[in-house]
Every structure is written in structure tokens, then in C-alpha cells.
Amino acid sequence: MSLLVTGSIGIDTVRTPFGYNKDCVGGSAIHFTMGAGLFTDVKFLGVVGEDCPFNLKELFGSRNVDLAGLEVRKGSKTFRWSGSYEGDMNSAHTEAVELNVLAEQPPQVPESYQNVGYVFLANTAPSLQMKLLDQLGSPSFVAADTMNLWITTAKEDLRELLDRIDMLIINEGEAKLLTGHRNLVTTAKAILEMGPRVVIIKKGEHGSMMMTAEGDCFLLPAYPTTVVIDPTGAGDSFAGGLMGYLASVGRVDVISLRNAMVYGTVVASYTIGDFSVYGIRNATRAMVDDRFDQLRKYTQF
Amino acid sequence: MSLLVTGSIGIDTVRTPFGYNKDCVGGSAIHFTMGAGLFTDVKFLGVVGEDCPFNLKELFGSRNVDLAGLEVRKGSKTFRWSGSYEGDMNSAHTEAVELNVLAEQPPQVPESYQNVGYVFLANTAPSLQMKLLDQLGSPSFVAADTMNLWITTAKEDLRELLDRIDMLIINEGEAKLLTGHRNLVTTAKAILEMGPRVVIIKKGEHGSMMMTAEGDCFLLPAYPTTVVIDPTGAGDSFAGGLMGYLASVGRVDVISLRNAMVYGTVVASYTIGDFSVYGIRNATRAMVDDRFDQLRKYTQF
């Protein structure tokens, strides 16, 4: 089934213990699409300024990405983010943000994007996520991400959004902030009570956890890679691999959800292997399937 | 095969967000034995002062524990530890330590403890761990734990010990301190190069990881319990469940090691469910098998 992503496209500048990468391509929709595009076609919805130096068609290469929803806005500037990672690189330190075009009107949804089956609303203001959702007809499965900022400044909007989506993908710290709980299982259950029927809590190098309203619980370690160069985009490419796989199989049962989470984990392991999208860009479905099988071997008993 | 543990017996005072427990039974050998005793007979080697208020025979209940190696030393005082946990309870804050009898001579090894098959050297000075090992003939499988203190103050002794044991069980932070690495896989490989043929890195609520010299890698999430009252002894009872299971099956192949790690995890999940040994004391092999099966369901794909 068709998959739509809406999120940011950014000009990133990143420093990690392994190097410095200035003005590289980034943003949630970019990292998501690099992952999802390994599994299925992606309808891309986002906006950049006229200063955007990236050729997204070239960037996505052999991935089948519909860019009808990419708006290049005259007189506007592209979103920019600068950040750094230290030590174990488990959290980013934001050094500068220029929202630019992201602070303006969202992109228009093309008619050809109506009646899409699977939707991922990458992290942005929940009110904006809902406005975008309003324009998308009745998708069969909607997932969203969120962050601290909205949990603390737009909690009512976020609660309204949670009641309208099927799955929330969220970081551990943010999940605990949202619910006020400290125990991960209690946290996951509290989020399910807020509306979504699936919650996935990401724990970075410690893996991820899924709980569903039907009572399924799935625990997955991260893929044990020794090559961690730049964690930027790991969460978005995790969501991309996950949603891409779900859309490719066209069903959201327990087995598909578990496999999707494994694919998300594996995709993220390629993303963090280099700066920007250089790690995931050259990954193939065969490479992803290889790590999927490896991760099964690493976890079965 | 027979299993011997040597470690501390303590009078613990613990404060967690869930309460305060004064002068309760603790110590590495106690927690280890509570776990291991669910699987096999345990030969217990340790020393207390004449002030020790605990009846260990009664404490271990139906577990088959040989206390011939328990020395009650006249004129000495029992080891005491006071600590507290806050927030997510991922690390203990030590408030007071009285080494007392632990700073004196180690206990004598009874003749009946010679030629034991499996040995666990709980955390203490590596020089002392080696002295004890010297008295134990030629056990077929020796595992040890260690801590920051010895990594920073007795590194040469520790390196000598590592060359004499089969398996090191160690916390994530301590493993990174020992090797100077930040990546978990690299860390595990570096420890294997120091001598042991198996290394298990404990990550608390984030689970554990095993690597073997033969190249096996096993990743296991923690058991997802909502009842976490007091983490004291989690690591020792993890080691107890793990070694107890290995001794009960009498072999240390890849499958046994993986199953043993799952049993260790499950045993620890009972230990943290209440203060001191109250959580694990009433656990049965059937209860442990039940969570073993549950954890398999939570992790398979």
C-alpha cells in the first residue's frame, strides 16, 4: 500500500567525536524516506526555501520517491540545524536552529496524495500534524513522532493528536515525560490509554519496545554495530524502515509489527554508520535482510 | 555438577523511592545463592562476625545449600552496607560501608569443597579472588564479577585474574572503564582478549549482552516487570540464576549459555520485586520457568 511521509528537510551541521560535517542534508522526512524507500514507494511532503542546495531526486537515487509534494518556496529559507554529540553519543546537543520555512505555512497536499494508505507524521507541532492529517482523507494506518517541546508546550494538542493516530513512535525520555511514569512498561501502557493502539518506545543503543492495545509486548535490542559515526536521523530512519515494511506487506498484525520493528532497527544501524545519509544511501534491501537475519541469530534462545 | 560461590554476607540498610529497609540480609553470596539454589545445590563460602543476626539455614529454606564453608568469626563484626536509589533506580548511592570481617583473612575452604565443578567468585579484591581460587583444585568452569574500585586500584591483579577465569560478568560502565572503549561490542571483544572465553555485560533495565571467544553474540532485554522495589542484589542473583542453571545442566555450550543468561535475567526480575531477598525467596523453579517462557514470547520474531 502507498506510504506518505511529512516532515522536515534540513541543512544540518553536525560534529561528533568522529568528525565535522557542514551543511549536509538532514531532516526527519529525508531520513525517514531513505529508510522507507528500501521497502516501498514513498509520497514525500515537505517544504524548503529557494536556498535549498540539495537535489532530492538525485539524493533518493533508485528509491521510488514521489516528489509532487515537495514545495520550493520563493522568498523563504530552508530549515537549518546545528548540533553535536559527545562521549557515548546518546543525546544530541543542539547548537543552533533556524526554523525558517518551517515557521511558515505547511506545504500544500497534492491531489495525487489523497487516499494514501499509510501515513507518517514526523515530529512537528501537533496542531500542524493534525492540519496535515485533515487533508489526507481516511488513511488506514497513521503513525506519528513527537518531542519534549510539544509535550511541555502543546500537551492538549498532543493529546488530541494521540486520539487520532494508530501508532506513536517516541523516545524513552519523552515517553516518560509525557506520562509522568518511570517504569517503561507502565509508561507504554499509559500511552496506549491515550489513544494509539500501538506504541513503540525507542531507547537508542539499548533497543526498543513495542506494546499494543491487544496486549502484545515485544522487546528488541539494537543491532550491535561497532561503527557509530553520527546518530542524527537514527530515530527517523527507524520509523522509515518500520513504516516502509508495514506498507510493503499491507497489514498491521502482531507478526508484521514485530518484523517491522526489526527492519527499523536494522535500517537505523546503517544510518548511524556515517554522517548525514551517507550510511543508509548505499544500503540495499539485501543488506538490510542480511542484518535482519543476523539480529534474529543474536536474539533467539 | 557442583557449584561453589564465595562472596560477601552483609547487613544492608537500603532506601528506595518505595521505602526504607534497615539491617536486612544482603551481600553478593547471599543474593547469588538465592538465585542459584533454584537450580542446583550450592556450596557456600563466606565469613560473618559474631554479631550476625541472620540464620542462613532458615533463610535459604528449601534450597539445598551446604553451609560447611560459612565461618562465624569470634571477635569480628559482619560487613555492613547502607545505600539508596533515586529516580529510575539505575545506580546505587553508597552512604556507608563497614568492611569489618571482609578486611580480615578470607574464610577457610573446607576439604569437602575441593574438586567442585563450577565456581563463582563474587566481587572482591582480585588478589583475594585468586587466593580463593588457589584453594579450589581444578574447577571446570570459573566465573567472576568485579567492580570500578579494583579496575582503578588493582588493575594488574585483575588482569592476572582474567587470565585464570572462564567467564567475566560485569556491568556496562565497569566494562567500559576496564577497556577504555565506548562501543559495547568493541568493549566485549577487548575483554575476551584479556583471557576469559565468555564475557557477559549487564546493562540493568536495558538487559545484557554475551560474547564468546568462539564468536557467539547474544543480546537479551531485561524481563519487563512493572514491580521494581529495590535493585540491590540484581546483578548477583543474575549471576546466581545463570551459574545455577549451567551447573544444573553440566555443560557450557552456546545454547546452555544463552538459556543460562535468560534464567539469570528472570531470577533478577524476582529479586528486584521486593527489598532484600523477600522478592526471590518465595520464587520457585516453576515461577522462573514461567517468566523464561514469557521472555521468549516477548523477544521472538
pLDDT digits (tens, 9 = 90+) for B125-145: 899 999 999 999 999 999 999
Residue of A nearest to B225 (CA): A185
CB-CB neighbors (< 8 A) of B224 in chain A: 184-185, 209, 217, 219
User: What are the backbone dihedrals phi and psi of residue B141, each rounded to the nearest 5 degrees, phi first?
Assistant: -150, 120
- At residue A26, the pLDDT reads 96
What does each C-alpha distance from A180 to A59, A161, A174, A183, A299 come to in angstroms? 41, 19, 10, 10, 31
- pLDDT of A46 reads 96
Q: Does B226 touch chain A (CB under 8 A)?
A: yes
**A93 or B259, which is more confident?**
B259
b/e burial code for range B86-108 (CB count within 10 A of at least 16 → b)? eebbeebeeeeeeebbbeeebbe
Note the pLDDT of residue A184.
93
Is A218 close to B298, i.e. CB distance below 8 A? yes
pLDDT the model gives residue B87: 80
The minimum CA-CA distance between B76 and chain A, rounded to whole Å, is 41
Q: Give the predicted TM-score (pTM) of the model.
A: 0.93
| Cα atoms in the 13 Å half-sphere on the side-chain side of A101 | 26
CB contact under 8 A, A185 and B217: no
Please compute the mean of the pLDDT values over residues A161-182 and round it to a whole number.
96
pLDDT band at residue A1 using 50, 70 and 90 as cut-offs: confident
Interchain CB contact of A257 with B (< 8 Å): no
Q: Work out the average pLDDT over A164-187.
A: 96
Judge: A299–B220 Cβ closer than 8 Å, yes or no.
Answer: yes
Res. B88: pLDDT tops 90: no
Q: Report the alpha-carbon distance of residue A238 to residue A291 in Å, rounded.
A: 14
d(CA A152, CA A147): 9
Half-sphere exposure in the Cβ direction for A220 (13 Å, CA)? 29
A258:B228 CB<8 A: no
Residue B152 pLDDT > 90, yes or no?
yes
The number of CA neighbours under 13 Å toward the Cβ of A225 is 23
DSSP assignment letter at B15: E
Q: Which of B185, B203, B224 sits opposite A206 (nearest CB)?
A: B203
Tell me the shortest Cα–Cα distance from B226 to chain A, in angstroms: 6
Residue B278 contacts A where some CB pair is shorter than 8 Å: no
Q: Is A160 on the interface with B (CB under 8 A)?
A: no
Q: Do B224 and A218 touch (CB under 8 A)?
A: no
Q: pLDDT tens across B37-51, in order?
A: 999 999 999 999 999
Does A88 sit within 8 Å of B298, measured CB to CB?
no
Nearest CA in chain A to B223: A219
Q: Are B29 and B46 in contact (CB under 8 A)?
A: yes
Does this complex have an ipTM over 0.90?
Answer: yes
